[in-house]
A = this chain, B = another copy of it.
Amino acid sequence: MSAEERRESVVRAALIEFARGGYHGTSTEAIARRVGVSQPYLFRLFPGKQAIFAAAAERCVEETWRVFDEASTGLSGSAAAEAMSDAYMGLVEDRDQLMMQMQLYVSVSAARAAGEEEIGETARRLWESLFDRVRIRIGGDMEDATRFFSYGMLINTLVALGYPPDHRIWSGFEGCGPPA
């Protein structure tokens, strides 16, 4: 397998492992095991653990946009918003995708506490690019986009907390696309 293909599989494995364990809670050993490769080899494919995390984070955001884009091609305004809402609810089944988002957000604050502002800039760039693409798609209004993302963040939280889809806590979403 070529190095480039290996890197690709590392990113996929890292997304899952980081999503579940967080940055500090995930060992490079665990990622390597999931890829099916020795742990030192990761450091030949990437300069360090942080670079693997960054690649997984970027992949995660790209993937989220891909889901939105696919669900709403040809649509716009509130129809696009509704389609993307439904698509996001579908992601609830794929916990890893949503949890990786959360891990990205909290890792920014950890990095800032450690004096590294760089990860924060990357994360904000990723966030704004996703935010603006969604905003344009649903009509360009800032308040609409804010409402859209706010429901998304609550969904992330409830998934993180491990609520099953039929729990009463989800019942308040009725007005904006219920879970599944």
Q: Which chain B residue lies CB-closest to A154?
A: B150
Q: Which chain B residue lies CB-closest to A30?
A: B113
Whether A127 sits at the interface, judged by CB under 8 Å, is: yes
Please tell me how many copies of the chain the complex holds: 2
Known A-B contacts A24-B22, A143-B172; the reply to A162 vs B131 at CB < 8 A is no
The interface on chain A, measured as residues whose beta carbon lies within 8 A of the other chain's beta carbons, has a size of: 50
List the interface of chain A (C-beta within 8 A of B).
Answer: 19-25, 95, 99, 102-103, 105-110, 112-114, 120, 123-124, 127-128, 131, 142-147, 149-154, 156-157, 160-163, 169, 171-175
CA separation between A172 and B128, bound complex, in Å?
13
Known A-B contacts A143-B175, A151-B150; the reply to A160 vs B20 at CB < 8 A is no
Residues from chain B with Cβ under 8 Å of A24 in the complex: 21-25
Residues from chain B with Cβ under 8 Å of A128 in the complex: 169
Closest 4 CB pairs of A and B: A146-B172, A24-B24, A20-B113, A150-B154
